[in-house]
Amino acid sequence: MLEVSIIKCLMDNYSYLIKDKETNLVGVVDPSEFKPVDVEISRTYKKLDFILNTHHHFDHIGGNTDLKKKYNSKIIASTYDEKRIPDIDIKKKDGDFFSIGKTNFKVVHIPGHTLGHICFFSKQSKVLFVGDTLFSLGCGRIFEGTFEQMFESLEKIKNLPKDTMIYCGHEYTDNNGKFCISIDKKNEKLKDRIKEVQIKRKRNQPTLPVSLGQELDTNIFLRCDDKKIKNNIKMKTSSELEIFTKLRNLKDKF
């Protein structure tokens, strides 16, 4: 089994420290910066075997070089990002597997936010490290890919088991909730989630991880086939991709 701890970095980033309990192998997902990750490692496991990166943005790889130097870690990242993430040791493409001790991960290519973006899914541990593609109650901005690519990437995530716990790259849930409720005004499950999020944020607690099942009920970007959402934006007869495109554009201006 996998132990996951959350490390707050920069303004609103999360890096995730993971340990395979059987073998004590340790990794970090998306180390935004060296210092807070190093502090947490010094306090806990005192070693770092692997660094996992979901994509090339600096707020996800900023700690790579110094952590690798200090702990002699191996960097696991996307083959598609081999020219943009320095010193990758283990390159992975869509459908590849790797393991941290006894915990197996599948790599899924989910382009849209960036072209090389990947996520790490462990079926046995029921966890998904999703970077900046899916956020709780939102999704990533489309910087490099097309709307269609992002939509397809979210479809891949939607098809994973509902009890998968999702770990996102940023704490954006509170603000995302405001946009969701402006479109999906009568969704009771969304209202409950927003209340829960407000309580957590007041206590300065993370709103992550969140289950895929809960996101499917509350995140409008995963619910582009919902009749009420289509009605609310006056696009009754539009396709799911058209709804997604409209919602993403509205969110950019929100």
Interface segment toward Fe ion; rule CB under 5 A; list 75-83, 98-106, 127-135, 147-155: 127-135
Give the Cβ contact number of residue 195 at 10 Å. 11
Q: 114, 143 in Cβ contact below 8 A?
A: yes
The 34-73 contact track toward Fe ion, x by CB under 5 A, reads -------------------------x--------------
How far is CA 10 from its chain centroid?
16
Position 81 contacts Zn ion (CB under 5 A): no
- Residue with structure tokens 């340790």? 26
Instruction: Give min distance, CB of 56 to Zn ion, in A.
Output: 8
Interface segment toward Fe ion; rule CB under 5 A; list 120-128, 149-157, 168-176, 236-244: 168-176
Q: 126, 163 in Cβ contact below 8 A?
A: yes
Span 182-241, contacts to Zn ion by CB under 5 A: none
Complex with Fe ion: residue 153 or 187, whichever CB lies closer: 153
Beta-ladder partners of 75:
51
Complex with Zn ion: residue 139 or 212, whichever CB lies closer: 139
Helix (H, G, I), strand (E, B) or coil at 58: helix
Position 57 contacts Zn ion (CB under 5 A): yes
Number of residues that bind Fe ion (CB under 5 A): 3
Q: Is 193 left (phi over 0), alpha (psi -120 to 50) or beta?
A: alpha
Find which of Fe ion, Zn ion, none residue 81 binds, CB within 5 to 8 Å per kind.
none
First CA to last CA distance, the chain: 40
Using CB under 5 A, pick the residue from 33, 38, 49, 132 that binds Fe ion: 132
Find which of Zn ion, Fe ion, none residue 20 binds, CB within 5 to 8 Å per kind.
none
Q: Which residues of 25-46 are buried (b: 16+ CB within 10 A; e: fewer)?
A: bbbbbbbbbbebbbebbeeebe
Span 118-147, contacts to Zn ion by CB under 5 A: 132
Q: Which residues make up the interface to Fe ion (CB under 5 A)?
A: 59, 132, 169
- Interface contacts to Zn ion, rule CB under 5 A: 57, 132
